[in-house]
Structure 1
Amino acid sequence: MKSHLRYAGADALTQRQALQAIIADQPVLMGVLEELRDLALPDHLLVSGALYNTVWNVLTDRPALTGINDIDVIYFDASDIGWDAEDRVIKRLEARFAHLPLPVQVRNQARVHLWYEQKYGSPFSPLTSSAEMLGRYASKCHAVGARLDAAGGMEIVAPFGLDDLFAFRMAPNPVLDNRVTHTKKGARAKAIWPELTIIPWPGP
């Protein structure tokens, strides 16, 4: 059996190509990426557990959808940050992806600052892109997104690189007060993928 850490510590290009190959080998993920490209959703990214959990499943020989509750899609459209506009996109994608084995959750990142403080209790400055949102995720290994270009090439967005992902290491990203989220997600992930190392949130 190959080591699940076979890409840990590899150079950035090798890790990026490994991630692209893992995604390309997953029909569900590729189907979502192709539909998103065809829909021309502004500044969209396939993100979160559908990606990083898939990597951990593939590298530990677990079934492809182990531990994945939904498929998260983010986009950025500042032309209309009203709820009605976002809701129309949500309903459109729900219908488009109704055939999938997992629900697709889509959110406009241009609206996050409107509800974040009320929900999580800390201020949140407006974003300027979907990629910028990845830099505010609670755990660095979670900050990865993918999309297809018009020619079918796959773009990977990973503001902290990919080594935490391939090293099975959940390191905190303290740019926001996300201690609860990091801790809670770390405990859940460790129960499913015991190969993970969970680095505690800094401070008391």
Structure 2
Amino acid sequence: MTNYENQLKEIVKNDDYIISLLKAVEQLNLNDAWISAGLIRNKVWDVLHNINTPINDIDVIYFDSTDTSWETEKNLEKKLGILVPNQPWSVKNQARMHMKNGFLPYNSSFDGVAHFTEIPTAIAVKICHSELKIMAPYGLEDLFEKIVKPTPYYQNKSELSSIYTERMQDKKWDTIWIDLSIEV
């Protein structure tokens, strides 16, 4: 286990709010379920910058190729809303998310996370039998070194590179976390 994995686990373990969210997701007993993306990324950057930013959403991912309905995702959000009320839950089955940008079907949540737009966002965390697990297809170095660059699917020679470029212009992360290095 790398030092960054230990650091991320400590950050999460020391945040009662995130732990409560992870425990709620675990209670749903979904296949390959994780909390991913912005909540985790922003928490790390907040800790590194000694600030607290608002939570936009709580991205919960799972993988179920037998039921890819939007209604199921909305029902899961309602269940999470009962377990931890008044939170911005956003549940997405990775078995259908490939369609968003025209990829081949994903075969797992890991595959879905690997197709996220930028490397420091391509992370996920879960609790399984009281053990904290980390998923980071591209590692955690860029996240902790405050480097933002596209995953291989969105790099310059890719037809999807404009999605990354537009996302960086819209997000303006370097105005919140001022020493980020954003590759364009």
Cα offsets for 1:137-195 (capped at 9, x unmatched): 11111111001111x11110001000000000001124141433454246521111111
Deviation at 1:67, TM superposition (A): 4.6
- Report the identity percentage: 30
Distance 1:96 1:185 in 2: 33
- Counterpart in the other structure of 1:148: 127
Secondary structure, aligned partner of 1:107: strand
2:173 maps to a residue whose letter is A
Structure 1 residue corresponding to 2:92, chosen from 93, 99, 107: 107
Secondary structure, aligned partner of 1:175: helix
Deviation at 1:199, TM superposition (A): 0.6
2:123 maps to a residue whose letter is V
Deviation at 1:35, TM superposition (A): 1.3
Structure 1 residue corresponding to 2:163, chosen from 163, 180, 187: 180
Shift of the 88–67 alpha-carbon distance from structure 1 to 2, 3 Å rule, reads closer
- Counterpart in the other structure of 1:171: 149
Scaled by the length of structure 2, what TM-score is found? 0.88
Alignment of 1:22-61 (within 5 A): 22-61=11-50
Distance 1:68 1:47 in 2: 13
Which stretches in structure 1 are left out of the alignment for 5+ residues? 1-11, 117-121
| CA RMSD, Structure 1 to Structure 2 (Å) | 1.8
The question of whether the paired residues in 2 share the 8 Å contact of 1:147 and 1:155 is answered with yes
Distance 1:49 1:182 in 2: 17
1:71 maps to a residue whose letter is I
Shift of the 182–47 alpha-carbon distance from structure 1 to 2, 3 Å rule, reads farther
- Counterpart in the other structure of 2:104: 125
Equivalences, count:
178
1:147 maps to a residue whose letter is K
The question of whether the paired residues in 2 share the 8 Å contact of 1:138 and 1:178 is answered with no
The question of whether the paired residues in 1 share the 8 Å contact of 2:97 and 2:112 is answered with no
Is 1:88 the equivalent of 2:75? yes
Cα offsets for 1:62-84 (capped at 9, x unmatched): 12xx0531111111111212333
Distance 1:30 1:185 in 2: 29
